[in-house]
Every structure is written in structure tokens, then in C-alpha cells.
């Protein structure tokens, strides 16, 4: 037996997942930063499944999979890693036709296949093989050993061989990734998360474009039920699946609203609420080193979202307010919410704090001068400060919703036995809040 025959006899292809990125490929000299971040997110995502390290290969990443790894579980987790264009469970072998043929046969062994084709692709022009020749030879071997018909136009299964300088990656089932950019490559934002349909979609879009997202929810305690806050926690839990490690600020807004109500006519109230929400979120953004505020507003969707009202809200803070859904129709937002799995939670009944003490027909054209005049009769800074001090911050880890004892306390329910992860931003932290 010569050396090759010997090693072939001991042949064991290494099980792995090949991971392809798309848009990152366009980042020029910044590309390594994006690839490193993607690798970081992938390792964080897959660690609990007993997978190996993520290795950088030219133009792609490779995740080591032991024989014990539950692929459907890993596969499901990978569909939430932004930056991935597609991925596949694969076998990694030396760049040698015999090894590749064996790997291809092993790869498709458990599959029921009606027709197939082989597609060999070179990672680099300089890889010393003929892809056409490899396709024919590998295809011939599969035909001979599995008696399967080839279909070049519409095959049920495509066996792909990625030929790299020293090795080949072989796979047969390609899974689409979520696209976008790796979380953490675009900075951090503070997203205002209501219990509604729109704001989770807005936060999702920011995550998809590479932002880390800190969530901020305003609840109407003590004047409404805790339903909206519970929903916000559930929604943040789903969105955390994309970044793995989130914070949500729960801000009691009822008393501040009461102060607004006592000094202003009903028509201006919603925009005033939003200006205060923006100010408080701005303070949280500073605390969290977030560079912008995000909302789920869409132009003209409701009276508080006309162009002049959105501008009036912008004017309350210096920080930029980003509105990723600005140009979307409600129906488009709804189908995205269904696709990401937030819709069912969002449509559960609740009472948002913004619906407190507001008229059926709020003003559609708010002038900033008028709003500023109304606010000059209030102690704006003190109201913001006090509300912040009564807020709490909860940690969400790996999509696991925290038990909110805090909610039981502020909504005066009896069940206060739940374990509490809320940390009140009270006097202890008030220095950093200010």
C-alpha cells in the first residue's frame, strides 16, 4: 500500500459547517473587522451546542462539528446570525479527487435523492484542478455507486465541492442565512420598544444592519395593567435571539403623563409624551453609550406620526432619532413581524401608556414653538430625572426572559416571590444617570 492508499484507508473526513458571508465581502479594507465580528457572534451562538472553534478560511468560515452535535439545533441557531448569506453542513477533506468522491458519497448516504448534479467551484483561480473534469468524475462515481440519475438543469440535490488551495469542502444541502451585517459592527442604539407591532420590527432591522440594541419600554404604572410591560419583555426576549445578551429599561411613565395632563389641552398630549420619551431615552442612550434612538414610527401611520409631529419630536433631543420603518406600509410591517415571530405577542391585548388621557383626534400639526411654550410651564428636567430614578434595568440572557419582580412591585400585584434580576436605577446609580 502506498502512502496515499494508506491514508485513504484511514480516511476520515472532518465534519464541519461551511459559513458564507455576503455583504461583508464588499467592505474593502474594513473586511477583517467584519469577519472577526461575525466569527465572534458565531462562536457565541454555537458554544452551548458543543461545537468547535470557528476558523477563518479564504472567503469563508468553518465551524468544527463533532459527531455528537445536534445539527438541526445548530442550524436553527445559525439562521439568527446576521452576516451569514448561507451555510451548509459539510465534510472537509484534502484537495484530492479520491477523497472528495468518498466525502460526496458519505455526505449523501443518508439522503433520499431523486436526481442530482455536482458543482465544483474554485476558491481561487490558482487552484490546480479542472472543475469540469471534477464534476464529471465525481458525478460518475455517484451514478455508479448510488445508481442515481443526473439532472443538470433542475436537480433535486446539488452536491457542491468548494476547492481551496489545500483542501476541499463538500456539501449537499445549503441553508439560507439571514443576511445583514454582524451585530456589533454598526455601533449601539437605544430602541424604544412598545408592546405594539411596529417597534419590534424596527429594532430587528437595526440588529440586522449590525447594531447592538438596548431596549427601552415605557409603561403606564400605576394607571394601566402590566400587560404592555410583559409583552415588551417577551418581545425583547425574541429579539435577544439575534444578539445574545440584552438590556431592557422599564420606565414608569404614568406620573409624568399625569403632570402633562394637568397643564395641557388634550390635542397636544401625544406629541408631548413622545418628546419626553425621547428625552428619557436620550439619557439612557448616554448611559449605555448608544449613538442614536430608534423608533417604530412610520410616516403618516397615525396622527402623532405626521411629518410635522415627527420633526417636533426630533427637536426635543440632540441625538438622532432613526426610524427604519418610516417608508413602510402597515401591511409590510405586519408581514415582517410575522416572519420574525413577534406578531403573535404584539397583537395580544394591552393598554399602551400613550393611550392614556389622549383625545380621539390629536393635533396633526404641532409647532415646536407651541410645544416649547407648553413645556416652559413644566419642570422638564426634574420630570425626566425623577422618572429615570424610578426606572429599572433588566438583563436578558440567551433569549431568556427575566422574571420581573419589579413589575409585581410597581403594578402592586401580590406575586413578589419571583426571582428578581431588576436593578433599580435609584440613588446608587443616579450619578451615572445624571
Q: Which three cell numbers stand for residue 269?
A: 398630549
Upstream peptide bond of 222 is cis (omega within 30 degrees of 0)? yes
Closer residue to Mg ion in complex, CB, 198/282: 198
How many CA atoms are closer than 13 Å to the CA of 85, on its beta-carbon side? 11
For ligand ATP, which stretch binds (CB under 6 A), given 91-99, 193-201, 257-265, 368-376? Answer: 193-201
Q: Which three cell numbers stand for residue 300?
A: 403618516
Do the Cβ atoms of 182 and 208 come closer than 8 Å? no
371 touches which of ligand ATP, Mg ion, none (CB within 5 to 8 A by kind)? none
**What is the distance between the alpha carbons of residues 90 and 160, in angstroms, rounded to a whole number?**
9
For ligand ATP, which stretch binds (CB under 6 A), given 102-110, 186-194, 237-245, 283-291? Answer: 186-194
**What is the distance between the alpha carbons of residues 109 and 102, in angstroms, rounded to a whole number?**
10
Q: Is 257 in the site for ligand ATP (CB under 6 A)?
A: no
Residue 33 burial (CB count, 10 A): 14
For ligand ATP, which stretch binds (CB under 6 A), given 110-118, 161-169, 348-356, 379-387? Answer: 348-356
Closer residue to ligand ATP in complex, CB, 185/257: 257
Q: Is 252 in the site for ligand ATP (CB under 6 A)?
A: no
Q: Is 34 in the site for ligand ATP (CB under 6 A)?
A: no
135 touches which of Mg ion, ligand ATP, none (CB within 5 to 8 A by kind)? none
Q: Is 313 in the site for ligand ATP (CB under 6 A)?
A: no
Judged by CB under 6 A, the residue of 272, 278, 280, 354 near ligand ATP is 354
254 touches which of ligand ATP, Mg ion, none (CB within 5 to 8 A by kind)? none
Q: Is 265 in the site for ligand ATP (CB under 6 A)?
A: no
Judged by CB under 6 A, the residue of 45, 120, 157, 199 near ligand ATP is 199
Pairing of the two strands 321-322 and 292-294: parallel
Q: Is 309 in the site for ligand ATP (CB under 6 A)?
A: no
295 touches which of ligand ATP, Mg ion, none (CB within 5 to 8 A by kind)? ligand ATP
Q: Is 282 in the site for ligand ATP (CB under 6 A)?
A: no
Q: Is 307 in the site for ligand ATP (CB under 6 A)?
A: no
Judged by CB under 6 A, the residue of 102, 162, 167, 198 near ligand ATP is 198
186 touches which of ligand ATP, Mg ion, none (CB within 5 to 8 A by kind)? none
User: Could you tell me if residue 82 is left (phi over 0), alpha (psi between -120 and 50 degrees) or otherwise beta?
Assistant: beta
C-alpha distances (whole Å) from 372 to each of 76, 113, 265, 293, 410 are 50, 69, 14, 21, 31
Identify the CA nearest to 177 among candidates 19, 26, 33: 19
Strand-by-strand arrangement of the 157-163 sheet: 54-57, 60-64, 14-21, 84-94, 167-176, 157-163, 116-122
Three-state DSSP state, 212:
strand
Q: Is the dihedral of CA 110, 11, 125, 57 positive or negative?
A: positive
Q: Which three cell numbers stand for residue 78?
A: 445559525
Taking the complex as a whole, how short is the minimal distance between the CB of residue 245 and Mg ion, in angstroms? 27
- Which residues in this chain contact ligand ATP in the complex, by CB under 6 A? 192-194, 196-199, 216-218, 228, 295-297, 302, 352-354
Amino acid at each position: 500500500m502506498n502512502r496515499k492508499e494508506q491514508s485513504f484507508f484511514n480516511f476520515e473526513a472532518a465534519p464541519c459547517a461551511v459559513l458564507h458571508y455576503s455583504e461583508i465581502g464588499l467592505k474593502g479594507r474594513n473586511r477583517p473587522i467584519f469577519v472577526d465580528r461575525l466569527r465572534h457572534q458565531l462562536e457565541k451562538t454555537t458554544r452551548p451546542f458543543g461545537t468547535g472553534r470557528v476558523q477563518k478560511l479564504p472567503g469563508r468560515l468553518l465551524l468544527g462539528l463533532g459527531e455528537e452535535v445536534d445539527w438541526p439545533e445548530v442550524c436553527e441557531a445559525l439562521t439568527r446570525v446576521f452576516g451569514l448569506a448561507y451555510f451548509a453542513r459539510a465534510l472537509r477533506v484534502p484537495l484530492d479527487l479520491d477523497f472528495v468522491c468518498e466525502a460526496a458519497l458519505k455526505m449523501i448516504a443518508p439522503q433520499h435523492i431523486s436526481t442530482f448534479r455536482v458543482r465544483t467551484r474554485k476558491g481561487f483561480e490558482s487552484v490546480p484542478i479542472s472543475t469540469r473534469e471534477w464534476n464529471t468524475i465525481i458525478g460518475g462515481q455517484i451514478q455508479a455507486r448510488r445508481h442515481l440519475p443526473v439532472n443538470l438543469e433542475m436537480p433535486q440535490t446539488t452536491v457542491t465541492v468548494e476547492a481551496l488551495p489545500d483542501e476541499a469542502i463538500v456539501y449537499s444541502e445549503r441553508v439560507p442565512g439571514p443576511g445583514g451585517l454582524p451585530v456589533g459592527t454598526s455601533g449601539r442604539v437605544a430602541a424604544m420598544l412598545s408592546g405594539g407591532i411596529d417597534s419590534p420590527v424596527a429594532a430587528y432591522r437595526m440588529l440586522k444592519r449590525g447594531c447592538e440594541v438596548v431596549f427601552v419600554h415605557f409603561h403606564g404604572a400605576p394607571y394601566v395593567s402590566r400587560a404592555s410591560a410583559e409583552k415588551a419583555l417577551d418581545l425583547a426576549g425574541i429579539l435577544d435571539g439575534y444578539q445574545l445578551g440584552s438590556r431592557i429599561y422599564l420606565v414608569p411613565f404614568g406620573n409624568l403623563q399625569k403632570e402633562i395632563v394637568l397643564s395641557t389641552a388634550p390635542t397636544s398630549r401625544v406629541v408631548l409624551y413622545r418628546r419626553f420619551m425621547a428625552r428619557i431615552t436620550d439619557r439612557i442612550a448616554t448611559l449605555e453609550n448608544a449613538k442614536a434612538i430608534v423608533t417604530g414610527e412610520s410616516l403618516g401611520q397615525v396622527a402623532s406620526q405626521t411629518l410635522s409631529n415627527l420633526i417636533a419630536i426630533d427637536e426635543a433631543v440632540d441625538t438622532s432619532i432613526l426610524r427604519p420603518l418610516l417608508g413602510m406600509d402597515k401591511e409590510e410591517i405586519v408581514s415582517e413581524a410575522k416572519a420574525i415571530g413577534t406578531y403573535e405577542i404584539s397583537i395580544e391585548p394591552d393598554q399602551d401608556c400613550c393611550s392614556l388621557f389622549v383625545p380621539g383626534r390629536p393635533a396633526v400639526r404641532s409647532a415646536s414653538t407651541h410645544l416649547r411654550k407648553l413645556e416652559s410651564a413644566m419642570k422638564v428636567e426634574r420630570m425626566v430625572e425623577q422618572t429615570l430614578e424610578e426606572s429599572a434595568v433588566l438583563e436578558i440572557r440567551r433569549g431568556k426572559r427575566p422574571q420581573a419582580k419589579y413589575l409585581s412591585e410597581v403594578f402592586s400585584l401580590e406575586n413578589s416571590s419571583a426571582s428578581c434580576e431588576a436593578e433599580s436605577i435609584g440613588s446608587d446609580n443616579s450619578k451615572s444617570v445624571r
